[in-house]
A and B are shown apart, each in its own frame.
Chain A
Amino acid sequence: MPELMQFLLSGITVGAVYALIALGFTIIYNASDVVNFAQGEFVMLGGMITVFTYAAGLPLPLAAIVAIVLTAGVGVLLNKLAIEPARGAPVVSLIIITIGASIFIRGVAQVVFDKQLHRFPAFSGDAPIAVLGATILPQSLWVIAGAMAVFVGLYLFFTRTLLGRAVLATANNRMAAQLVGINTKYVMTLSFALSAAIGALGGVLVTPITLVSYDVGIGLALKGFAAAMLGGMGNPKGALVGGILLGIIEALTAGYISSQYKDAAAFVVIIAVLFAMPNGLFAKGSTDRV
């Protein structure tokens, strides 16, 4: 029984990171119908920038904030320079553009930072906490709390604030939103900044556990993408549940089935979901314009 608890705790920790990445995918997808394959790079930037500003002498919280703000800026640039000029392009083009962006960001990180692995100290130490016969790192609690805080914050933002509702309106129907006076360009910029900031936060929270280097982005993007698909692309609730569920499935696969194929679990689940429930767990039924 304590085994199962350990597997679950491990799954939830990793899953929380996937959830943050999936949330980032969701926001951008909702705003612009684009799946941003560079999402994983935001996580990498969050971690790397924090590492280097911390090493340069800034206190850790400040370094983290600097990282999040800078990464949000990168997100805005990505939108302005790569996504907006390609509005209306076919899906294949957009996929290539965002993958190209992810490669580009990785290349810049490689040159500006370095190719080594890095870490900074955990926020509240490394002493494991015992929970029902299993242990969890304090940093894992930070990661989980972070994911929940982001989700709650986004929920409040989208339902209680005017700006948030403007974002939802734009996602629903761009033309109609413009007609009622919403500045859709501003909404797009905001969405990208938000999504990048969330990714960066994920990176900041998780680096003390998993370390960071310039090329961690692509693996994270794939998993986060799988999580978003699992929950239903475009649904924030789905992103959170999809992420945590994916993490747990992976941990249970490693624990009970085969640690060899743990990574395969994510993709097998995705394919299964796509066939059984193509719109994900929280299906938003979709119609096709003929």
Chain B
Amino acid sequence: MTRHTKLVTLLVLAALIAVAPLFFPSAFYYRVGSLVFVNGLAVVGMVILIGYAGQISLGHAGFVGIGAYTCALGPLYLGIHPSIAAVLGAILSAVMAWLVGRPILKLKGYYLGVATLGFGVLVSMVLSKEGAITGGPDGIAVPDLGLRGLLKDAGLNLTNAEFWYAFAGLALLLGAWIALNIYNSPTGRALRALHGSEVAARTVGIDVPRLKLQAFVISAVYASAAGSLLALQNKFITPDAAGFMHSIEMVTMAVLGGAGSVLGAVFGAAILTILPQVLTVFQEYEYILLGLVMMLVMIFLPEGILPSIGRRLRGKSE
């Protein structure tokens, strides 16, 4: 990936985000769009972990939960502003990722998957069972971010849906920019080397455990940020956000669209967020179609949809 491609990627994303609203028949589409961006942000983080570093996590929704719940509990118990709470959530997630990652990342393959799964499930259990603090399985309210009100005072009057569309879109662009920068940096190259072969990477002097941990922590921060955005947007959060199914969704979105690229990640997030909306006519068959999509894409387009189509159109001369 050259600097040229990085610019193109960002421009394409920005263009899509800016232009799409012109086609929206109703305000509902802003809501879907902002969900796509929030999911996209989390999935860009997964790309760094899965695509760049080649690790698996079946429990990353745990970090989403941490980021989301700090926005609810921080203002409630510490009296801080939700935006500070979001930052606090990111720091907390980074710390947890660092603590949990050090021993866990020594494992490989299914063992790593199961250990991360265990982590995610434990986080969602604690969030659900400590009801006295967290509000329990029925969830807890999240206070307003206040930014929309500030903009309104400054003269820019946006509806709730429009505001969140723009804000989440900006967050996604920022996240994408950072991820693309990482790709071309020494860290990114080292990650890609380690993805190729851990043993070879070690022999050329790469500190493999430290790098894996870095990727884990960075992707945890992305997930946490996405969780905070989700909580602030919905003004409400439940422990499902940290659950196993949500973790699987995140991995699926990453791999579906193409785990190697930022654009692929956003594409995967878009497909899995929009598909249930389009399929409401077939609501009875939603699981069947979802399962089929997951299987068929992974069998026939194992690199993900975007890269596979790209290759086919370019005529396999890579």
Contact = CB atoms under 8 A, between A and B. Distances in A.
Direct contact of A and B (CB under 8 A): yes
Interface in B40-79: 50, 56, 58
Contacts of A104: 287-288, 290-292, 294-295
A2 interface: no
Contacts of B111: 229, 233, 274, 278
B291 A105 contact: yes
Contacts of B273: none
Interface stretch (B112-120, B172-180, B211-219): B112-120
Contacts of A288: 199
Given A85-B299, A229-B111, A261-B125, A95 B56 contact: yes
Interface in B1-59: 50, 56, 58
Interface string A97-127: 1011111111110110000000000000000
Interface of B: 50, 56, 58, 103-104, 106-107, 109-111, 113-115, 117-119, 121-122, 125, 129, 199, 244-245, 248, 251-252, 255-256, 259, 284-295, 298-300, 302
Given A91-B110, A92-B259, A290-B199, A103 B287 contact: yes
Given A89-B302, A226-B114, A290-B199, A100 B56 contact: no
A165 to B, nearest CB: 26
A86 B299 contact: yes
Interface stretch (A8-16, A52-60, A265-273): A265-273
A93 interface: yes
18 contacts: A89-B302, A92-B251, A93-B302, A96-B251, A96-B256, A97-B294, A97-B299, A101-B291, A103-B290, A104-B290, A105-B291, A107-B290, A233-B110, A261-B129, A267-B121, A270-B114, A274-B111, A278-B111
B244 A99 contact: no
A236 to B, nearest CB: 17
A222 interface: yes
Nearest to B114: A229
List the 8 closest pairs (A to B, CB-CB), nearest first: A104-B291, A107-B287, A100-B294, A107-B288, A103-B291, A267-B118, A100-B295, A93-B298
B252 A96 contact: yes
A267 to B, nearest CB: 4
B115 A93 contact: no
A86 B298 contact: yes
A135 to B, nearest CB: 29
Contacts of B287: 103-104, 106-107, 110
B298 A91 contact: no
Given A104-B292, A107-B291, A226-B118, 4 more contacts: A97-B295, A110-B284, A229-B111, A260-B129
Given A92-B50, A95-B251, A270 B118 contact: yes
A94 B298 CA distance: 8
A205 B110 CA distance: 29
Contact of B113 (A91, A110, A111, A260): A91
A45 to B, nearest CB: 14
Contacts of A257: none
Given A91-B113, A92-B259, A229-B114, A100 B122 contact: no
A86 B297 CA distance: 11
A275 B103 contact: yes
Contacts, number: 123
Contact of B119 (A90, A233, A271): A271
A152 B183 CA distance: 53
Interface of A: 35, 82, 85-86, 89-97, 99-108, 110-111, 218, 222, 225-226, 229, 233, 260-261, 263-264, 267-268, 270-271, 274-275, 278, 288, 290
Contacts of A102: 291
Nearest to B121: A267
A268 to B, nearest CB: 7
Nearest to A272: B118
B291 A111 contact: no
Nearest to A233: B110
A275 B284 CA distance: 42
Nearest to A96: B298
Contacts of B295: 82, 97, 100-101, 104
A264 B122 contact: yes
A99 B245 CA distance: 10
Contacts of B298: 86, 89, 93-94, 96-97, 100
A233 B117 CA distance: 16
B255 A96 contact: yes
B286 A268 contact: no
Contacts of B104: 274
B103 A96 contact: no
A106 B288 CA distance: 8
A37 to B, nearest CB: 9
B125 A107 contact: no
Contacts of A94: 298
Contacts of A101: 291, 295
Nearest to B289: A107
